[in-house]
Every structure is written in C-alpha cells, then in structure tokens.
Structure 1
Amino acid sequence: MHSRRDFLQKLTATAFTIPLVSTVVPEVFAERTNLYQNEKVLKVALMGLGSYANRVADAMRDCKRAKITGVISGTPSKIKDWQGRFNIPDKNCYNYENFDAIKDNPDIDAVYIITPNALHHPQALRVAAAGKHVICEKPMSINAQEGREMIEVCKKAGVHLLIGYRMHFEANTLEIVRMRREGELGTIRFFQGLSGFKIGDPTQWRLNRELAGGGAMMDIGIYAINGARYMVGEEPIWVTAQEVKTDPVKFREGVDETITFQLGFPSGAIASCLSTYNMNYLDKFYLNGDKGFAEMQPSTGYGPIRSWTHKGRLDLPHVTHQTTQMDEMAAIILDGKKAIIPVDGEEGWKDMVIIDAIFESIRTGKKEEITYV
C-alpha cells in the first residue's frame, strides 16, 4: 500500500541535486535558540496512533519544549506498544470513549489530533471542553462551517487551536517568504503549486468520503492552497476549478481524483494549481515577481526541501519538520510566541473556505467569489 506519507518520504529522499550557488541562513535559526531558554515543556497526548503519529512521535524525541506524555487510541495493542516505546503510564492512556477524563489529568496540556479528517471536528470540541489545548492535523475539518465552530469553541474554552502546518516553520519556506516580504522578488505576479501522487490501496480511509470529506484535495491539494496564500502573501478572492476523473470505481462520488484550480488575488496576482491522486512526482512551488523568482522542488515533502531563486541555490539546513513544528507550537502555547506564518485556527479555516469554493466552482462550472465570513 502506498500512502501520502510514503510518497513524500521517497520523493524528498531521491530529489535531484543542482550545484550549490549560494546559501542563506534565515533568522529563524537564531530565533529557535531562544526557544530553549525557557525550560517549561508542553505535555502532549497524541490521538490516533497511525503512521503519521509514529512520525510525529519519533520526531518529538529531539524536541526541547514538547514531550509525549499520553496517548488516545481505539486499539489496545497500539496503546501497549506505545507505552513501552515512550514510557507512558497507564493513567495517561485513553480510548475514544473515555478521553474526556483528560480534564483531570495534569500530565497532559495539549492533545494532537491525528485521526481521519471527519473526526477532527467532534474530537476537537471534546478536547476543548476538557480544557486542553488542541493541535489538529490538516485539514482542520471537512468544511468551513465545522472549522468555524472549532475556533469558537476553543476560544470560549480559553484554549489554543493550532493546525499542523509543519511547512510554516521550515527554513527554505521562511527564507522565501522573507524575500517576498522585503521586496526582493518585486511585485508578485504568479504562483504555481503542484501537489499529487498516485494513491494505492482503494480501501483506505482517504478514499472514503465519510471519513475523508473528499479525496486528493483534502489530503495533498491543501498544500497548494495553503502555499499559494503564504507565498503570494494575500488571500484569494476568486476561484475557478475543474475536475477530471479517470477511475470512477476507485474514486467514487464525492471523492476527487484530480482537480485543477486557479486563484485570483486582490493585487491582480494569479495562481495555477493541481491536486491529484493519480500522478506521481508532483511536489513543486514556483513564485514569480517582476524582480525575481523562487522555486521549490520538493516543496512540501518531509525533507530535505530543495529551493533556489534568481540569486542562486538556498537548500538550507534540514531539521526534521515535526521536531521544529512541535517546539515552535510549544513556544506559541507556553510563551505566547507569534508564528511568522500563522498556524492558528483562522489559518486552517481560510483553507477550508477556499476548498468549499473550489468544490462549488466544480459544481456550477463558474468562477466563484471567495468571502471570509
């Protein structure tokens, strides 16, 4: 079985190499040193112990500010295995029926929800009701309405809601965003985002509309949407979209196989993007301005990210994305740090607003305005 996780790992591991022209070390590396000055550690329970949770857990072994202290799973054998690997006591282990009891557990500050997409909304509401901070994998929900409710419930409960946008802390990404913000690329005119791979096992939950809320768009296409926003530095105001389906058996009604979509921004910049479960080797961002360009390929895989601009190669030092993400999120929750590229609930909600508009454009065959209300 081939999954997105396998694809991203293999793609980045076998990325082609171009001779290094120049290396720029962004300020983010200096800033990360400050994370370790405060010894307070975020105590995290992982909910859903699948392949990505294992990746997060392994990465967190190197965290300075975040530690796994609990687990939540519907599979007792997984819990037993994780207890042995991460020295988790029985009192910090829960299932999906009883995890509301974390309310009375001081060993858990936050819960990282890594379950199928359709479960994010109800589980986040329960975690917030228990008074714990919510870290939720993307997409945060299956539509914008659910995302908005998650934001409001967490706000009312006085807890943080953060979305697992690991690329928002990645060095190459941050350097290109810095260049764009400081005018080194000039006026931004165009963005291209290509996100896709050929999915395997047709029985997996990612091809189940009830659990996934869609198909490729919810899984891999959201990288192109989110990337368009932070690379261009604006929120899109219109979208046109087209769907192509070559295998209606594997990709049933409501499960998208391939979608191309175009975004328009207030400045006049445009984006052209592709989301697919039927083509391999698609992990590329390209940003064009009237003074320069930036390109990344791979752009969102697990690393190392390869990047270059009109000034030469970047290819900044690789740190495991989930390690950086969890340390930075700990600083956001514990210290009130502000992320350079936001990872809060509003950030996740805007992606859902755009996804809703993409699906609506496919339904109507028309250009759809995007409104963030």
Structure 2
Amino acid sequence: MLDRRKFIKNTGLFLGYSMLPFSPLYATSDQKPLGVCLVALGSYSTGVLAPALQLTKHCKLTGIVTGSPHKIPIWQKKYGIKDSNVYSYNNMDQIANNADIDVIYIVLPTGLHAQYAIKAAETGKHVWCEKPMAKTAVECQSIIDACAKNKVKLSIGYRMQHEPNTQTVIGFATSKPYGQIKTVRAEIGYNVSNPDRTWRLNSELGGGTMYDLGVYALNAARYTTGEEPVSVIAKQMTTRPEIFTETDETTHFTLEFPSGAVAHGKTSVGKSMHELYVDCENGWYTLAPFSMYSGVTGKTSDDKLLNTYVENQQARQMDDDALAIINNTSVLVPGIEGMKDIKIVEAIYQAAKSGKKIKLK
C-alpha cells in the first residue's frame, strides 16, 4: 500500500551506501558467493535488494525474472547480467539448468508469492521469499511443503531479525533483565497523502496495511515476548473510503499471551509512527525507530543504549541466509515463522470484521 519509492526515500536507505566494513558478527566462508536471481523488478528489487547485493560477501546478483522486457537492458547494463540468466515468468522453470543461480528470491506482490515460490522450489534452487510470506496460512504451508519436497532451504525476508539491536531485544525475552514483560506497544505507520493505486490497494493481490506494514508490528510483538499469542481483538478504519475501497488504511490489534503479557499493535498509512516499547516489572526498553532501513536505535530504563549500527540491513539478511546454505545450517527465519504471522493476520481481519475476540490455536 505504501509506495516503496517513498518508503525508501523516507527511511533514508541510500544514506547507508557509504559503507563501513562489515560487522564482525558475520560468519566467514571461503566458498564462492551464491548466485541470486530476483523475481520481479519493482521498486524493492530496484532500489533496495539489487544495490544491497553489491555489498554482500557471500552472495551476488546473477539473474532476473521479469515480465517487463524494457527493463532487461537497463539491468544488464547496470549489473552485467548475462542473456542466459534473464527469464520471464513463463520460462523461469528453466533456471533448474542454470549453474549460475543458486537462490531464487521472490519479490512479487504478496498474493503471488505462493505460486512463484513453489515454481522456484521446483527448480531445485533455494528459495528466499519476501515478507509477508503469503496471503493465507494455507498458501504458506504449500510453500513450505514444496521446499521440503525438493530438498531446498526456505527463508523469509524479515530483515529485522538479522539486525543487532533487534537481536538484543529478542534475547531479552529469555534473559528478562527487567523482569516479567507486562505490555508491548508496537506501532508502525506513515502519513501517505496520496497512496498510489498499485497492488497494495488490491485485496486479491494481498494488499492492505496490515499485510504491508502491520506484519512488522505483529512480528515484533511475537519476538519481543518470545511467546505465541492465544487471542486477538482488532478494529480497522479509514478516513479515505474513496481510496481504501478494498483494503485497510489503519488497523489496531491487541494480542494476549500465555504469560499474561499483552501487546498493543497499530499500523497505518494515515499517520506517522515508529516505535516498539516494552514495559516490564522492573523497567522498560524501547526501539524507536524499530524497523527503519537507515538504522534502528533504542534505550533502556537504566540508560543503556541500543544503537549498534549495521551497515546495510538487506545485505546482512542475504549474507546470513547465504551462509546458512553454504554451511548447511538452519536459516534464521524459516517458513514456519512466516506462516505463524499470517495465521494471526488472518485472525486479525476476522476479529475486525466480527467485532469479537478470536482465540488462536
């Protein structure tokens, strides 16, 4: 729903391209970088992933899949992509025979993720799929099953779980340095005055603010508590019904967890907000902003700063995922993680529509 070009500009992604050396948190490998093929050349591939792949150590851009022939010469000139590594949606099954490509990265609209992630898995190449994983939990499961059947790794593009300050907060869920977590507040939104009438306004293609942005807040509530919610209530609203005819402009949701912790989530393209705040028995901690491309910063109630800088979040994410393939280890964000969010997203829409609390299994 949010125009990614505006998102990239607003979050200052390109400020990070004057790079410092990569973090020592990275593992090392002597194996040659894995070849990555991007499926769909929209604004996220063009403005974020392709530039990030110029910064990675363990993977590199070697192929593209596109339905827009006019983009092909531009990408070939900029990134040196060979004719034999250019595919359409109709012939991407032929990637199976291409030794230059090890990973297929699905960057299509959410409603198309399952169809093309399954096609990718059937080539025998490893699959990276952008978040949100798919439109429904059933589709998520179909992707997981296809990757398992073809014995390839599947990773979901949750860049925040690779980010060091976020990893610190994830660790707090177990170590509980400020005591038991009582409440979590996770809010993400941007005041978009004129939303482009793209797929993000199309329900069939998986548009909607809860899918596009709200999944960040939802995922944050889960990794912050380290628990899975047992119930949800929600409401959705719009101040521009002439634009948001099929999808939500603003969504509020409240999750209850087994420990008694409660998370209040909010997402909108009608209001700017960007904070994760965790209140505990003996203190608090916050990340604000908690998912900006240009950096994540925060602090704690005892004046500890959470401000470790990572040079490029997408490069770190893709290098981590590449190393999991190279070293045959578990990926940081597997398909089951993506599916858990989508099950809850579906329940949020159900709760908003019914006005009732929905129990989660």
Q: Scaled by the length of structure 2, what TM-score is found? A: 0.92
SS in 1 for 2:240: coil
Which residue of structure 1 aligns with residue 7 of structure 2?
Answer: 7
Q: What is the distance in 2 between the residues matched to 1:93 and 1:272?
A: 45
How far off is 1:164 after superposition?
0.4
Correspondence list, 1:307-322, <5 A: 307-312=298-303, 313-322=305-314
What letter matches 1:3 in structure 2? Answer: D
**CA offset at residue 289 of structure 1?**
1.6
The runs of 5 or more residues in structure 2 that have no matched partner are 14-21
CA distance in 2, matches of 1:46, 1:214: 21
Q: Is the 8 A contact 1:4 1:197 kept in 2?
A: no
SS state at 1:197 partner = strand
Q: Report if aligned partners of 1:202, 1:250 keep a CA contact under 8 Å in 2.
A: no
Asked if structure 2 preserves the Cα contact closer than 8 Å seen for 1:9 and 1:302, the reply is no
In the alignment, structure 1 residue 229 sits paired with structure 2 residue 222: yes
The verdict on how the C-alpha distance between 1:11 and 1:40 changes in structure 2, with shifts beyond 3 A counting, is closer
Contact 1:9 1:301 in 2 (8 A): no
Equivalence map 1:212-291=2 (5 Å): 213-253=206-246, 255-280=247-272, 282-291=273-282
1:187 equivalent in alignment to 2:177: no
AA at the equivalent of 2:114: H
SS at match of 2:232: strand
Match of 1:343 among 319, 333, 342: 333
- In the alignment, which residue of structure 1 is the partner of 2:73? 80
- Checking the alignment, whether the CA contact within 8 Å between 1:52 and 1:114 is kept in structure 2 is yes
Residues 101-152 of structure 1, C-alpha deviation per residue, up to 9 Å, x if partnerless? 1011111111111111111110011111111111011111111111111111
Contact between 1:221 and 1:274, CA under 8 Å: does it hold in 2? yes
- Checking the alignment, whether the CA contact within 8 Å between 1:40 and 1:334 is kept in structure 2 is no
Partner of 1:25: none
Mapped partners of 1:63, 1:337: distance in 2: 19
Instruction: Give the whole-Å Cα distance in 2 for the aligned partners of 1:39 and 1:333.
Output: 11
Report what 2:106 is aligned to: 113
Specify the alignment match of 2:16 in structure 1: none
How far is 1:29 from its partner?
Answer: 4.7
Deviation at 1:316, TM superposition (A): 1.0
Q: Distance in 2 between matches of 1:11 and 1:47?
A: 24
Preserved contact between residue 194 and residue 273 of structure 1 (Cα < 8 Å) = yes
CA deviation after TM superposition for structure 1 residue 30, in Å = 4.1
Equivalent positions of 1:24-39 (< 5 A) are 29-32=23-26, 35-39=27-31
User: Equivalent residue for 2:320?
Assistant: 328
Q: Counterpart of 2:260 in structure 1: which amino acid? A: G
Aligned to 1:20: none
Q: Which residue is equivalent to 2:358?
A: 368
Deviation of the 1:277 alpha carbon? 1.7
Task: Could you tell me which runs of 5 or more consecutive residues in structure 1 were left unpaired when the two chains were aligned.
Answer: 14-27
Q: 1:4 to 1:239 in 2, by over 3 A?
A: farther
Rounded to whole Å, the distance in 2 between the matches of 1:161 and 1:231 is 23
Partner of 2:18: none
- Contact 1:196/1:276, CA 8 A, preserved across alignment: yes
CA contact (8 A) 1:4 1:220 kept: no
Equivalent position amino acid for 1:146 in 2:
E
User: 1:278: Cα distance to partner?
Assistant: 1.2
Deviations 1:41-92 (A, max 9, x none): 2211001111110211101111110111100001112121111111110000
Q: Shift of residue 9 of structure 1? A: 4.4
How far off its partner does 1:37 sit?
A: 3.2
Whole-angstrom CA distance in 1 between matches of 2:325 and 2:222: 24
Tell me the equivalent position of 1:45.
37
8 A contact 2:35–2:60 mirrored in 1: yes
Aligned-residue sequence identity (percent) comes to: 38
Other structure's SS at 1:74 match: coil
- In structure 1, how many angstroms separate the alpha carbons of the residues matched to 2:93 and 2:31? 28
Partner of residue 300, structure 1: 291
CA 1:73–1:4 in structure 2 vs 1: closer, same or farther (change >3 Å)? Answer: closer
1:203-224 residue CA offsets vs partner (Å, 9 max, x unmatched) = 211111222x241001000000
Q: 1:303 deviation in Å? A: 2.0
Q: Give how far 1:7 is off.
A: 3.1
- Distance in 2 (CA, whole Å) between partners of 1:279 and 1:49 is 28
RMSD: 1.8
Shift in Å at residue 4 of structure 1? Answer: 4.4
The answer as to whether partners of 1:241 and 1:361 remain within 8 angstroms in 2 is yes
